[in-house]
Amino acid sequence: MSDDIKIKDEPLNETIENGEHEEKENNESDGLIDKITSLKKLGPFIASKDNSTNTVYFSDIPQVCKDEPCMLGVDEAGRGPVLGPMVYGIAFCPIKSKQALIDLGCADSKQLTEEKRDIIFDDINTKEYANSCIGWAVEIISPNVISTSMFRRAKCSLNEVSMNSAIGLIHAAVDEGVNIAEVYVDTVGPPEKYQDKLQKIFPQFKITVAKKADSTYPIVSAASICAKVSRDHALKVWQFPEGLKLKSNDFGSGYPGDPVTKRFLSENIDLVFGFPRLVRFSWSTAENALADKAYDMEFDEPDSEKPKYAGPKLTKFFKGTTKDGEVKREPCRLLKERFLDSCVDF
């Protein structure tokens, strides 16, 4: 995506101009924020939540989204990083209001600069032409939840975590009264298989699952931007229960190839407990970093040996016939010890 994306030439919110300084001031305020009405409110809202569990947020639902057939887009941010949450986002608006998405400049969030993403997110929430017809929601999936899901005995893969989040957000939008007619999803795995799965769950919708859907469908781009901006700010306001005093630029982007992230991993290892909660323990990058430095841990496992069985197996008494058709069975021990035979004729 080129840098000549057209974005409405309107005054920017002071928060965007001041960046992290404004966000930090708001995080220090005493009042709790329960509604995100601008970019300024995003960081404080996330900071007020427990980052060991998932957080779901829904914007106000425009009345037009309840009255008219809508399209809904689904996309995620932060699937690959070893640090921080993965965020799933949805955006929805009436099918006839596609122009509002174009006016906002919605495009693949990965091709937009952080500043442009912030501007678009703020406009979605503050500009009347946008918030009167566009709604959005995100699920911030804690790295703690990701790790425990992938490590538990009944393993839940990252694809399953992703699909469950997307399906849950669509269900929630239906429960909120959004009049969904069409659903567009950026795929996880083979698009055909994912589309069939969603179509069985939501047979009443027209569903399209495609690769790079965020660069093809503006409604998916809007969802992608909401997810990406939410993840970026979740990292900026991350609270370390371990007591670490770090800023987001101290641990980098979170991607395994980032040298700042690699340094963070190597310098913040607890020899017993491993890493801070920010880290996804289930990533091979984290496992390899722990391999040579952390203590080896052993856990008692229940005895897995099969119990010894003194007597013969029951199936021993139900053997088949010989080639001549004769039934040949081993007499039971009771009869053998007493020199008895079975009597079949009288």
pLDDT band of residue 345 (cuts 50, 70, 90) is low
Reported as a single tens digit per residue, the pLDDT across 159-214 is 999 999 999 999 999 999 999 999 999 999 899 999 999 999 999 999 999 999 99
pLDDT band of residue 221 (cuts 50, 70, 90) is very high
| 326 phi, psi to nearest 5 deg | -80, 135
Cα-based distances in Å from 74 to 39, 50, 168, 198, 210: 20, 24, 11, 12, 11
Is it the case that residue 139 has pLDDT exceeding 50? yes
Least confident piece of the model among 105-109, 166-170, 260-264, 265-269: 105-109
Please give the pLDDT value at position 253. 84
Q: Name which residue leads in pLDDT, 254 or 222.
A: 222
Please give the pLDDT value at position 302. 63
Residue in 184, 191, 180, 178 with CA at minimum distance from that of residue 220: 184
Q: Is 186 flagged in the annotation as binding?
A: yes
Q: Is 20 flagged in the annotation as binding?
A: no
Is it the case that residue 318 has pLDDT exceeding 90? no
> What's the CA gap between 313 and 341, in Å, rounded?
21
Please give the pLDDT value at position 319. 57
Please give the pLDDT value at position 12. 45
pLDDT band of residue 297 (cuts 50, 70, 90) is confident
Q: Is 118 flagged in the annotation as binding?
A: no
Cα-based distances in Å from 124 to 40, 55, 120, 288, 305: 13, 20, 6, 41, 61
Q: Name which residue leads in pLDDT, 339 or 48.
A: 48
How close are the terminal C-alpha atoms of the chain, in Å? 96
Is it the case that residue 23 has pLDDT exceeding 50? no
pLDDT band of residue 17 (cuts 50, 70, 90) is very low
Please give the pLDDT value at position 5. 39
Taking a C-beta distance cutoff of 8 angstroms, is the pair 223, 89 a contact?
Answer: yes
> What's the CA gap between 126 and 131, in Å, rounded?
7
Cα-based distances in Å from 56 to 49, 140, 221: 10, 6, 19
Cα-based distances in Å from 147 to 50, 83, 150, 277: 16, 11, 5, 10
Please give the pLDDT value at position 20. 45
Count the helix, strand and coil residues of the chain and give each as a percent rounded to the nearest 5: 40, 15, 45
Cα-based distances in Å from 1 to 79, 110, 114, 152: 21, 9, 14, 40
What is the average pLDDT across 126-139?
97
The alpha carbons of the chain give a radius of gyration, in whole angstroms, of: 29
> What's the CA gap between 346 and 344, in Å, rounded?
7
For the CA atoms of 27, 31, 37, 40, what is the dihedral angle to 10 degrees?
A: -20
Please give the pLDDT value at position 292. 76
> What's the CA gap between 234 and 257, in Å, rounded?
21
> What's the CA gap between 37 and 238, in Å, rounded?
21
Average pLDDT score over the chain: 84
> What's the CA gap between 325 and 316, in Å, rounded?
18
Residue with tokens 């037009």: 64
Please give the pLDDT value at position 334. 73
Residue in 80, 53, 258, 227 with CA at minimum distance from that of residue 159: 80
Least confident piece of the model among 119-123, 286-290, 333-337: 333-337
pLDDT band of residue 32 (cuts 50, 70, 90) is confident
Please enumerate in sequence order all residues whose Cβ is within 8 A of that of 171, keeping only pairs 6 or more positions apart, or say none: none
For the chain, where are the E strands, in sequence order?
55-58, 70-77, 86-94, 135-141, 180-186, 206-210
What is the average pLDDT across 64-69?
98
